[in-house]
Structure 1
Amino acid sequence: MSDQTDSRNKIGEGSQPGSAFYGHFDAMPFHQYLGLKVQSAEKNRATLRLHRNEETPTGIGGSVNGGVLATMVDMAAVAAVFTDVPEKAMPAGTADLQITYLRQASGDYLDAVAEVVKRGRQLCTIQVAIVNPEGVTCCMGRVLYALRPI
């Protein structure tokens, strides 16, 4: 994967429910603090990139803190859901988040690759893998994201 964010797809523009999400994600102060940006998005898939810096919270051996990884899993899942929110539904929030840490997460950047595996009327199931620059999976997550019918 390249380190450029300019080529990301413009999912959610116009009247789509996700337009505000994609328009403001990179500008959110918490995401800026973490160095987290939308790398790419297409229907039912999204990739976020965390650019490590001196402010990135670390854990054992200088690896990225587990709470940061959990945040990446959650935000990547939300980004994937927002690629195709039905017109008669509103986002309602994360209903469940599970994460399995496989190895220390190190490197100049980490990618959170999310894919919606089931999209129901009120719940979406999303799988997320966080990979290092070498493409090695550091942790995996599963998120249930709630939608509210309108």
Structure 2
Amino acid sequence: MVGDHPTPGPGLREHFAEFPFHRYLGLTIDEARPGFARICLQTSERTLGGIGNSVHGGVLAALVDIAMLQALFPLFGPGDEASGTADLNITYMRPAMGERIYAEATVLKKGRQQAVTEVSIIDEQGRLCAKGRTIYAIRQRT
């Protein structure tokens, strides 16, 4: 880890809980392997604020970004350098309610300059609450 930013590579999962924002939200990693990650949000009063006391939409968007990184970074090779999220969109389908909300990220394609991921936000009953898609920018070390 460099400063407050994740460093791509195999040690990323071990450092997940060191990030203050992850702790603040109450996030844990349920599963992570190259190209896929499932993170869990333990809901609390700080994550609520949506319709009907559901999880706030901004928190769900943050879950999309965080889950994407957990799926993508293990795929980085020696010449790849993290450049940042270039695009993130989210479609909300139903209020995310319950004690736990899950974000499942799948890398659809990783190239030399960008990666595309898809993230499903799912409630405890397995219902799809939101769908996110990201483009992550990658630089090549010279």
Calculate the TM-score normalised by the size of structure 2: 0.89
Q: Count matched residues.
A: 135
Quote the residue 2:61 is aligned against: 70
What per-residue deviation string (whole Å, max 9, x for no partner) do you get for residues 38-79 of structure 1? 211112001110011233232121100000000000111111
Report the counterpart of residue 3 of structure 2 in structure 1: none
Please give the alpha-carbon distance, in whole angstroms, between the structure 2 residues aligned to 1:112 and 1:91.
Answer: 21
Query: In 1, Cα distance between the equivalents of 2:118 and 2:103?
Result: 10
Match of 1:117 in 2: 108
Residue 89 (str. 1) matches residue 77 (str. 2) = no
**Matched-pair contact (CA < 8 Å) for 2:10–2:74:** no
Displaced runs of 4+ in structure 1, greater than 6 A? none
**Residues 111-134 of structure 1: per-residue CA shift (max 9 Å, x gap):** 100000011111000000000011
Residue 109 of structure 2 aligns to which amino acid in structure 1? Answer: K
Match of 1:105, as an amino acid? Answer: A
Aligned partners of 2:107 and 2:115 also within 8 Å: yes
1:57 maps to 2:64: no
Contact 2:9 2:73 in 1 (8 A): yes
Kindly provide the amino acid, as one letter, of the partner of residue 104 in structure 2. Answer: V
Cα distance in 2 between the residues matched to 1:67 and 1:18: 27
Structure 1 unaligned spans of 5+: 1-15
Q: Which runs of 5+ in 2 are unaligned?
A: 1-6
Identity level (%)? 43
Q: Contact conserved, 1:39 with 1:49, CA < 8 A, in 2? A: yes
Match of 1:136 in 2: 127
1:47 and 2:38 correspond: yes
CA distance in structure 2 between the partners assigned to 1:93 and 1:70 by the alignment: 15
Whether the 8 Å contact between 1:37 and 1:49 is mirrored in structure 2 is yes
Q: Which residue of structure 2 lines up, in the alignment, with residue 34 of structure 1?
A: 25
TM-score calculated relative to the size of structure 1: 0.85
